[in-house]
């Protein structure tokens, strides 16, 4: 399969994995998001993913993938997943060898101001839960969309620069600036595991959630809740009944570890690129 096809498949496998506490999966919907909307979002993102594989600028491919993803009634299904997947797809398509963290880092470090502009424009397609910008840069609030473009251009901020500005508050930004550390580690775990790939992904998700608090949970509910969720996930590891109970509880409370799901989708892509058998 091509990198773009593997990325679309990774999105489908991620949402099909269960249980993933607090997230939509094939057994659970949220009040405002349904399983089939994630399927539609994955298919809708395909053109942008193909652009990434064909060498289009990261920002342009990302904005197009988000625009396509948004063509379902649920709104934001996979914005964060695509933020990780687009540079990984680009790196995989350019590499003649097995995809490495160094390949991905080369792609993100080469992003431009134009990529940052397209990233901000992507926020005009869907509502995304984000933290407030740094106190010294209110004009760079991503929720401003295109209105923030003059500030980006005046500061000559590349997309990588934008991610560096966000690392304290955003786990996906940390992946961009940290060599996709957790993505590749989770991919190794998926490759080394056995059984159906969606089951492996669910286990990888729970491990990721147990190892580090989810930054989307921290943004929406506070750092104490995010830390507690990680503790609960750690307690549930290896116990399917306990994991199911945690999944039901987090859905009922509206606690969604979405950043962990984003990294799981990216890890699935890397695992597919490395030849995990389906």
Inside any domain, residue 278? no
Inside any domain, residue 61? yes
CA–CA dist 162, 146 (Å, integer): 15
Inside any domain, residue 33? yes
pLDDT for the residue 144? 85
Inside any domain, residue 148? yes
pLDDT 10s digits, 208-246: 999 999 999 999 999 999 999 999 999 999 999 999 999
The answer to whether the beta carbons of residues 189 and 204 sit under 8 Å apart is: yes
Inside any domain, residue 100? yes
If one counts the domains in the chain, the total is 1
Whole-structure pTM value: 0.96
Task: Report whether pLDDT(257) > 90.
Answer: yes
pLDDT for the residue 159? 97
Inside any domain, residue 117? yes
| Cβ density class 46-68: b for 16+ within 10 Å, e for less | bebbbbbbeebbbbbbbbbbbbb
CATH number, domain containing residue 114: 1.10.4200.10
For residue 197, what are the domain limits?
Answer: 3-273
pLDDT 10s digits, 3-22: 999 999 999 999 999 999 99
CB-count burial class (<10 Å; 0-12, 13-18, 19+) for 194: exposed
Inside any domain, residue 72? yes
Inside any domain, residue 62? yes
């Amino acid at each position: 399969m091509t990198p773009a096809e593997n990325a679309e498949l990774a999105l489908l496998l991620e949402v099909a994995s269960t249980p993933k506490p607090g997230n939509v999966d094939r057994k659970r919907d949220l009040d405002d998001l349904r399983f089939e909307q994630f399927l539609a979002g994955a298919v809708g993102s395909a053109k942008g993913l193909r652009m990434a594989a064909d060498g289009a600028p990261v920002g342009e491919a990302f904005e197009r993938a988000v625009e396509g993803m948004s063509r379902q009634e649920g709104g934001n299904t996979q914005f964060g997943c695509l933020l990780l997947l687009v540079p990984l797809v680009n790196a995989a398509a350019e590499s003649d060898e097995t995809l490495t963290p160094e390949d991905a880092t080369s792609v993100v470090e080469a992003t431009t101001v134009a990529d940052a502009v397209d990233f901000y424009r992507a926020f005009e397609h869907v509502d995304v839960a984000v933290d407030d910008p740094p106190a010294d840069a209110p004009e760079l609030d991503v929720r401003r969309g295109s209105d923030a473009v003059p500030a980006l251009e005046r500061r000559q901020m590349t997309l990588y620069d934008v991610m560096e500005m966000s690392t304290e508050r955003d786990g996906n930004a940390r992946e961009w600036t940290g060599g996709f550390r957790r993505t590749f580690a989770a991919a190794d775990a998926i490759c080394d595991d056995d059984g159906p790939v969606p089951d492996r992904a669910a286990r990888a998700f729970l491990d990721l959630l147990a190892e580090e608090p989810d930054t989307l949970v921290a943004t929406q509910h506070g750092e104490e809740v995010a830390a507690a969720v990680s503790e609960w996930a750690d307690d549930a590891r290896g116990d399917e009944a306990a994991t199911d109970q945690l999944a039901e509880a987090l859905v009922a409370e509206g606690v969604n570890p979405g950043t962990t799901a984003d990294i799981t989708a990216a890890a699935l892509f890397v695992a597919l690129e490395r030849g995990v058998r389906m």
